Chains A and B, each alone.
Chain A
Amino acid sequence: MKASFVGTLAIPVVATAILAALVQLVVVILVPVVAERDAFARLKPLGEPNVTVLLPRASPTERLAPYADPVLAVSFCRFDLAAGPIRITAPEGRAFASLSMHTQAGQPFYALTDRAATQGVIEAVLATPEDIRALEAQDNEEDPSHDLRVTAPDREGFVMFRVFSEEPSLYARAEEQAKHLSCKAEPIPR
């Protein structure tokens, strides 16, 4: 009796477990492809490429994206590298500030903090792998470029500039600093 019970149920149960695991795997892989409300979809309507947009401070009513720290003043610009590289600059301030570059899905692929600032400016040049090679080919060996070049995995994405306010009264100042993020097209001379 026991043998037949195992015989009739074991195969369907194991099959269900394997199939359910497969369904779950497919869902996890498909979600980033079909997600309609990812970070890029939320930011895109707020500004054209290369335009700096100051984001509203995170609060119970400003729900642009979850897990945003209300002590940070945040601005962003989105990028489209189809027309060539983008030069990103942001000013250093009195406290922590950082630039991060994100893919369309929101995943960060590069970041620089104010500790990497030179003469008060945090700076990087963002480009596609082809443009990075083109820039390197043009480098002058006598007078090498001092640019920090970052390869973007996607043609489109966005740059976040986060500025820490040390006290509530310093938030307005952090916002002022965040507004000075700049994203400028810098086509390669050919």
Chain B
Amino acid sequence: MVVIGFLKIVVVAAISLVLGLLVSRYVLAHASPFDRVRLGAWRLEAHAGSMEADPFTRARVARTGEIPLAVGEGLQWIARTDDAGRPLNAGCTYAVGPKAPEARYWTISVVTPDGFPIVNPAGRYGFRSSELLRSSNGDFTIIVSATPQPGNWLPVDAPGGFKLALRLYDAPLGATPAAMDPTSAPRVDKISCR
């Protein structure tokens, strides 16, 4: 009886350890679950750029070596899905636009799931607000696609999937991303798939 009781404890401890480590691995690969702000398809860790970052953000930043933008400098929003919630897929073509939240400058870039620019022959990793082709009313459309497109073409050739990064520099509401107007987020719409 004592042996069975002891075995039970060992099994419970082993399962707990494995489960705890698996959950840690998942949590540290994603934005902190307690500090997430949504804006359309985009997500942001509200306090990543300050000393008020929670332990999850701190652990992720220390582990990945990321150097976050301070809240006074800018905000980095990440989209892993389109507006319909489907994971971004390099086999599809997406339209991103037509508006972006107010900021002195912004960029929209394509990154690998771990946050690095994606190789492409054009050497084009993203667009700046200051270099885009726009329609007469200031609206824009960025086409994210593996095949060349007219206009603002952002090439993506990433078999493992990809993410979009929207970086706002000198945003007026820098300290309170939760107060941003959700309709000001660029839409991420799937146009077609190969």
Contact = CB atoms under 8 A, between A and B. Distances in A.
A56 interface: no
A96 B70 contact: no
Interface in A82-105: 95-96, 98, 100, 102-103, 105
Contacts of B23: 20, 24
A17 to B, nearest CB: 8
A70 B126 contact: yes
A78 interface: no
Q: In the complex, which range does the number of interface residues on chain B fall in?
A: 35 or more
B19 A20 contact: yes
B180 interface: no
Given A24-B20, A60-B119, A66 B65 contact: yes
Interface stretch (B105-113, B140-148, B186-194): B105-113
Contacts of A16: 12, 15-16, 19
B21 A42 contact: no
A88 B96 CA distance: 39
B139 interface: no
Contacts of A6: none
Interface stretch (A33-41, A133-141, A177-185): A33-41
A180 to B, nearest CB: 18
Given A35-B62, A100-B69, A107-B51, A23 B116 contact: no
A12 B8 contact: yes
Given A60-B118, A107-B53, A108-B70, A38 B62 contact: yes
A64 B51 CA distance: 23
A22 B24 CA distance: 11
B58 A70 contact: no
Contacts of A12: 8, 11-12
B72 interface: yes
Interface in A151-184: 153, 160, 162, 164-168
Interface in B102-158: 104-105, 107, 109, 111, 114-119, 125-126, 128, 130-131
Contact of A153 (B51, B109, B119, B130): B51
A23 B71 contact: no
Given A60-B119, A100-B70, 6 more contacts: A22-B20, A59-B117, A65-B66, A69-B109, A105-B62, A166-B128
Interface of B: 8, 11-13, 15-17, 19-21, 23-24, 27-28, 49-51, 53, 55-56, 58-59, 61-74, 76, 104-105, 107, 109, 111, 114-119, 125-126, 128, 130-131, 165, 167, 169-170
27 contacts: A16-B16, A19-B13, A20-B20, A23-B17, A26-B20, A38-B65, A58-B117, A58-B125, A67-B115, A67-B165, A71-B107, A95-B130, A96-B105, A98-B73, A98-B170, A102-B67, A105-B58, A106-B66, A107-B50, A108-B73, A109-B50, A113-B72, A113-B170, A164-B169, A165-B128, A166-B131, A167-B128
